[in-house]
């Protein structure tokens, strides 16, 4: 998300929000000496939460990916932090920055961590910082909010026909090198659950070509989510390259994508019957291993199916 310098009109727009944040959140307890992991908008400034606004005002230090970007974000909301209260913590210095943050926390300061956009420590930096702070026995408090992962999933309409297809896998960014990316896509071909992917505009065409080998498998493409030119469309994976090529604007902006569950059902009566018979005589892991060898179905899918069969009262009465 790229922010322009805030106008007085923009900051005045959020004056009411700052007051509402104070009214709604100031009565809660914000421990000193704690790390607050704060989600920020992925594009639309109005997607900030009231609790995030209050905590960002309250924080003694705001650790962030890019101090200039975060300074612009804070000023857009009418929050003015001096440069001394901003601390750069990004992918290149995160391991070393843990000690600096711990020193601030040990002084009893409240430290907020924000990434450039969305929820930190998912695909953006923050995970090493959180792990280091937790290892030191210091409290970490999550402030939930915007995330490209949940945003694109909510608009994709993913549904599972079988327990083995339930849930989703977060794969994030696939490898940049063509051979490694192709290998990763081969792995996705055998994944029966939904898969969430992220991609930058300069690599989206290469990703589209790689995913095209998945043929008719449904793919939801989210582009510029929550922004003015947001697009969300679902199409066969094989049609993705042509969809991009048909309009130059479609290669612009950040992408979040959902590869839908495999259309081929993994719960055929034969597969389920084989698994039931094996589960009746063998431990779960051995039964799944043998069922995978017999049916040719992915072991992970059969394992999920086995768990469902084990917990299904109807099956326990057979």
Task: Please write the tens of the pLDDT for every residue from 39-69.
Answer: 999 999 999 999 999 999 999 999 999 999 9
Q: Domain check: are 118 and 13 in the same one?
A: yes
Taking 90 as the threshold, does the pLDDT of residue 223 lie above it?
yes
From 136-140, 141-145, 187-191, 299-303, the region with the lowest mean pLDDT: 299-303
Q: Domain check: are 16 and 138 in the same one?
A: yes
Q: Domain check: are 174 and 79 in the same one?
A: no
CA 45 vs. chain centroid, Å, equals: 19
Q: Domain check: are 82 and 169 in the same one?
A: no
Structural domain that includes position 307: 269-316
Angle, alpha carbons 188-191-192 (nearest 5°)? 135
Q: Domain check: are 141 and 153 in the same one?
A: no
Q: Domain check: are 288 and 200 in the same one?
A: no
Taking 90 as the threshold, does the pLDDT of residue 195 lie above it?
yes
Q: Domain check: are 288 and 188 in the same one?
A: no
Q: Domain check: are 126 and 190 in the same one?
A: no
Q: Domain check: are 156 and 100 in the same one?
A: no
pLDDT band at 271 (very low <50, low <70, confident <90, very high): confident
Please indicate, yes or no, if residue 1 is contained in any of the structural domains: no
Taking 80 as the threshold, does the pLDDT of residue 4 lie above it?
no
Taking 80 as the threshold, does the pLDDT of residue 316 lie above it?
no
Please indicate, yes or no, if residue 2 is contained in any of the structural domains: no
C-alpha Rg value of the chain to the nearest Å: 23
Q: Domain check: are 119 and 153 in the same one?
A: no
User: What is the CATH number for 187?
Assistant: 3.30.950.10
Domain count, the chain: 3
Q: Domain check: are 18 and 84 in the same one?
A: yes
From 150-164, 274-288, 297-311, the region with the lowest mean pLDDT: 297-311
259, 277, 292: which is the final residue of a domain? 259
Structure-block tokens of residue 73: 């974000």
102, 128, 145: which is the final residue of a domain? 145
Taking 50 as the threshold, does the pLDDT of residue 317 lie above it?
no
Q: What is the pLDDT of residue 165?
A: 77
Q: What is the pLDDT of residue 312?
A: 64
Q: Domain check: are 241 and 293 in the same one?
A: no
Please indicate, yes or no, if residue 289 is contained in any of the structural domains: yes
């Amino acid at each position: 998300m790229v922010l322009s310098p805030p106008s007085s009109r923009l900051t005045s727009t959020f004056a009411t929000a700052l007051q509402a944040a104070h009214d709604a959140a100031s009565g809660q307890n914000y421990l000193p000496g704690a790390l607050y992991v704060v989600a920020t908008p992925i594009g639309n400034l109005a997607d900030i939460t009231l609790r995030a606004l209050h905590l960002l005002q309250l924080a003694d230090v705001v650790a962030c990916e890019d101090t200039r970007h975060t300074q612009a974000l804070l000023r857009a909301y009418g929050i003015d932090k001096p440069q001394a209260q901003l601390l750069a913590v990004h992918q290149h210095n995160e391991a070393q920055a843990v000690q600096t943050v711990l020193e601030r926390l040990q002084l009893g300061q409240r430290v907020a961590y924000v990434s450039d956009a969305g929820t930190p420590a998912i695909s953006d930096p923050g995970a090493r910082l959180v792990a280091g702070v937790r290892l030191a026995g210091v409290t970490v408090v999550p402030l939930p909010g915007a995330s490209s992962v949940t945003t694109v999933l909510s608009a994709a309409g993913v549904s599972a026909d079988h327990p083995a297809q339930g849930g989703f896998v977060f794969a994030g960014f696939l490898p940049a090198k063509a051979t490694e990316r192709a290998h990763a896509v081969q792995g996705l071909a055998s994944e029966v659950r939904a898969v969430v992917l992220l991609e930058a505009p300069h690599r989206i065409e290469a990703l589209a070509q790689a995913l095209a080998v998945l043929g008719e498998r449904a793919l939801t493409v989210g582009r510029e989510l929550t922004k003015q030119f947001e697009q969300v469309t679902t199409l066969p994976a094989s049609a993705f390259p042509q969809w991009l090529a048909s309009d130059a604007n479609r290669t612009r902006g950040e992408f979040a994508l959902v590869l839908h569950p495999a259309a081929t059902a993994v719960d055929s009566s034969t597969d389920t019957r084989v698994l039931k018979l094996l589960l009746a005589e063998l431990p779960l892991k051995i039964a799944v291993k043998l069922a995978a060898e017999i049916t040719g179905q992915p072991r992970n899918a059969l394992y999920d199916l086995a768990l469902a069969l084990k917990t299904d009262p109807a099956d326990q009465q057979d």
